Amino acid sequence: MDLQQVYSRTRKAIDDYHMIEPHDRIAVGISGGKDSLTLLYAMQGLRRFYPLPFTLCAVTVDLGFDNLHLDRIQVLCDSLEVDYHIIKTDIAKIVFDDRQETNPCSLCAKMRKGALNEAMKKAGCNKIAYAHHRDDVVETMMLSLIYEGRFHTFRPVTYLDRTGITVIRPLLYMHEADIVGFVHKYDVPVVKSPCPADGHTKREYAKELLRQINREAPGVKERMFAAIQNGGLEGWTL
C-alpha cells in the first residue's frame, strides 16, 4: 500500500465519523509499533491538505523498560516536523516487579492512559488519535463476545468525560495487512515492544481464532465489520 492510499482511507474514516473539528490539537499516541507509526504518517500528511485546520504532536509513554530505543522515532518526527514528547514512567517496575501482576495488561493500560492524558493536557491537546485498525475492531468484538457475553467494540470517536479528551481512531478502514505492506515499502522505523507479555495476550488468541475462521469461511472478517457498522452499536451509525 502506498502513502496516497493510506491518506485516502484515513480521510474517509475521519470524514465518515466526523473525527476532526477546526483548530483541534491532536496527539498521536506512539507505541513505536507499525500501527502507530503508520497513523503518524497519515495524520501528518492530512494536516497539509485537510480542509479543517488542526495541529499535531506525537506522544510516547516510556514504561521504563531498559531496552526501548526511540532515537529513530525522534528522527522521524523531526523529519515530519511533528513535536515529539517522551513521557518517562516507572510503570514496568510497578506492574512486573512490585505488583507482579498475573494480568499485567489491564493495570498497565490504565496507568499508561493516565500518564498519556496528563501529558496531553500539558501539550494543550483536546484529542488523541489511537492506531486501532479494522482487524482490531473485529478482534475486540470477538473478545467481548467470548469473555463478556455481549456484542460490543470500541467506538470510532469517544469523549472521555473525566478528562475532557476525545479519542479518535482514524485507521478504522485500514487492514493490518495493508499496514504491514506500507511499513515494508517505506522502511518505517518500527520499534519492537520490550514488554514480556507482548504476543501472549487474550487479543492474540482472538486474532488466531479469527484467522482460523477466515480460512474456513473467507471474507468473514469483512462481514463481521459490516455487522458492527450496521448493528446499531452506539457511535457506529454512519
Tally the domains of the chain: 1
Please tell me the predicted confidence (pLDDT) of residue 64: 80
Q: How confident is the model at residue 90 (pLDDT cuts 50, 70, 90)?
A: confident
Residue-wise pLDDT for 192-223, tens only, equals 877 777 656 788 889 999 999 999 999 999 99
pLDDT of 97 above 70 = yes
Q: Which three cell numbers stand for residue 111?
A: 496507568
Residue 184 within a domain: yes
**Residue 66: inside a domain, yes or no?**
yes
Q: Tell me what pLDDT residue 199 has.
A: 59
Q: What is the domain-level CATH number for residue 62?
A: 3.40.50.620
Is residue 203 within a helix (H) or strand (E), and if so which, with residue range?
A: helix 202-216
Give the DSSP H/E element, type plus range, for residue 202.
helix 202-216
The tens digit of pLDDT for each residue in 43-86 reads: 999 999 999 999 999 999 988 887 778 899 999 999 999 999 99
Judge whether 206 lies within some domain.
Answer: yes
Q: What is the per-residue pLDDT across 18-40, written as a single tens digit (0 to 9) for each?
A: 999 999 999 999 989 999 999 99
**Is 238 contained in some domain?**
no
User: What is the maximum alpha-carbon separation in the chain?
Assistant: 49
Question: Is 185 within a domain?
Answer: yes
Can you give the pLDDT at residue 92?
82
Output the pLDDT for position 200: 62
Q: Where are the beta strands (DSSP E) in the chain?
A: 24-29, 54-62, 83-88, 127-129, 157-160, 165-168
Domain of 187 in residue numbering reads as 3-230
Main-chain phi, psi angles of 198, to 5 degrees: -60, 130
pLDDT at residue 165 tops 70: yes
Q: What is the pTM of this model?
A: 0.93
| Residue 203 maps to a domain | yes
Measured distance CA(229)–CA(238) in Å, rounded: 8
Tens of pLDDT, residue by residue over 166-177, are 999 999 999 999
pLDDT digits (tens, 9 = 90+) for 104-152: 777 888 888 888 888 888 889 999 999 999 999 999 999 999 999 999 9
36 domain residue, yes or no:
yes
On whether residue 32 sits in a domain, the answer given is yes
